[in-house]
Structure 1
């Protein structure tokens, strides 16, 4: 079926209206009529070929919220009209140990991303959520229980939310834990909200004095300006866990020094250039760890959505029209958004 979308034909062209083809729903498929799609920095990297392997035409978008428009004959968990979400994954091998553990994001044979992933559908790679509808296997569709007036702000939970929720859960963050969140952007602001809701003592780190009040309003108990050596030194050896959301190369030693014995610094941002190599001594002598984490599996993403619905958590967003996506990308590069753009897909019909 022909579907309106916004995408790019090459790395040096702006995004433009496209007519794309979606498959008719098969027995296990759910057709989602998309209402909102969040804008992730990964979208920009992919569209502009800043990461290798972009296939064109490229239709990005993996923070999708909408309503079920049709279901296949074997679909049991969804019905027409249900409010649903689609995140970063639309398929995986379903045979490996990772998939068996509900960790499809670590699929040994490679997961299929919501856009720019291999598929039998035309044009041979997946096309994402900057579009009016999408057809997805029922195993990769998620139920959304937030009220209707929050749905636009739910969309970024499908990437920014799960990217921060998964490591917080894996390292068992909760009451009695002192947790640091490095960076107050699309990921970081969700990390603050989630760690606060989990009952931890939350300290936000920012390079900007001007973001202090924002971080406190999001739920941080304290805010540290990371360029201030005295403020950093005051927290030496005191953190159970630090979640580093910054996607630019920076000195990790400044944060490993703040960890307790057995504390972990977890990285979720992927910089264009490698971080400077960390000193080994501070790790060895306190049994500290530097780790990484990638989004989350379907089961955990559903858990995250349910947790957020229960606690009234959504992303802080600015709604845009599809026609304004390139301007939004330029503003993203300047960090000029609090904290996530979301496309109103209805604007595609205008």
Structure 2
């Protein structure tokens, strides 16, 4: 089994450290990818610190992966050596259940296999993109179109598809009013994508300190949720709200901002429950929904859409030895808007 350089967490309470991990040999339908860039997602921090449950360590996180194909198995037909490719939040599924057959592998009824910290079909624990190489079955590798640089493409594999999927599914477009809660790694992508789809976009953020950025990224309006008057002024305003915040917020207050038959979709994943007042739902036939990444087909659609509209993530590229510092800055909301690791520094 090939050994590659990586950064991994030895435990839930220790900093990530340089190490080596094993990758499986390239099988008949596998693709070997030389990783060029790996985004840092808030999910990485939640996972390695055990916020979402116990993990097996050492654990190399990372599910926003952009790189170049360097080897393919004998039966691979979708990719070839030299292709620009990406890997997102999953690397396998049963491929047989109704959801997989519908192209919604993220909702595999037998459980999709996450890119890191998950048990793969062969019983091994997956290790993620904070590494120089990864081996993935071709069905879970997407093509990064020309016109999107690999560094700004990496976060699209999670932050991009996580926001694109509910926007598409819920009909964001001309004539629709969309609000985005939080202007961070997910939120800034939601703003860019909703704007490109033709919706009228409003950012709802704790303060106005990122207002200039929000308007530059495509928002039409920007409000501070710390101002109680915001909830009065915007009551009943939105067809769709995308909540990108990975922390507990007063969901019922945000539900009141929906118009008749409006929907609030949660894509942030806080460790704490989010209580909902039933009257906030039934009073306007409103819906509170969730969404998790997207299937492989939709992820490719998202990448093609981003290439067509010139969309990439707003990033800060860092060397591997700044990963732990980056984690602390993410937790302090001190990044605009995604850290991306240059894996040549591993």
TM-score strictly above 0.5: yes
Counterpart in the other structure of 1:282: 280
Contact 2:6 2:130 in 1 (8 A): yes
1:307-322 to structure 2, matched below 5 A, reads 307-322=305-320
Question: Structure 2: where are the runs of 5+ without partners?
Answer: none
2-structure distance, mates of 1:308, 1:147: 9
1-structure distance, mates of 2:257, 2:11: 44
2-structure distance, mates of 1:167, 1:88: 16
Cα deviation for residue 337 of structure 1 reads 0.5
Name the SS for the 2:236 alignment partner: coil
Cα deviation for residue 47 of structure 1 reads 1.4
Counterpart in the other structure of 2:328: 330
Counterpart in the other structure of 1:188: 187
2-structure distance, mates of 1:50, 1:121: 26
Cα deviation for residue 10 of structure 1 reads 1.4
Contact 1:23 1:121 in 2 (8 A): no
Counterpart in the other structure of 2:47: 46
1-structure distance, mates of 2:175, 2:256: 20
Residues 185-233 of structure 1 show CA distances to partners (whole Å, capped at 9, x for unaligned) of 0000000000000000000000112111111111000001112222332
Name the SS for the 2:222 alignment partner: strand
Counterpart in the other structure of 2:226: 227
1-structure distance, mates of 2:17, 2:66: 21
**CA root-mean-square deviation:** 1.2
Counterpart in the other structure of 1:171: 170
Counterpart in the other structure of 1:147: 147
Residues 95-127 of structure 1 show CA distances to partners (whole Å, capped at 9, x for unaligned) of 1111011111111100000001112668x2000
Counterpart in the other structure of 1:65: 66
Residues paired across the two proteins, number: 345
Question: Structure 1: where are the runs of 5+ without partners?
Answer: none
Cα deviation for residue 279 of structure 1 reads 2.0
Task: Give the TM-score taking structure 1 as reference length.
Answer: 0.96
Task: Give the TM-score taking structure 2 as reference length.
Answer: 0.97
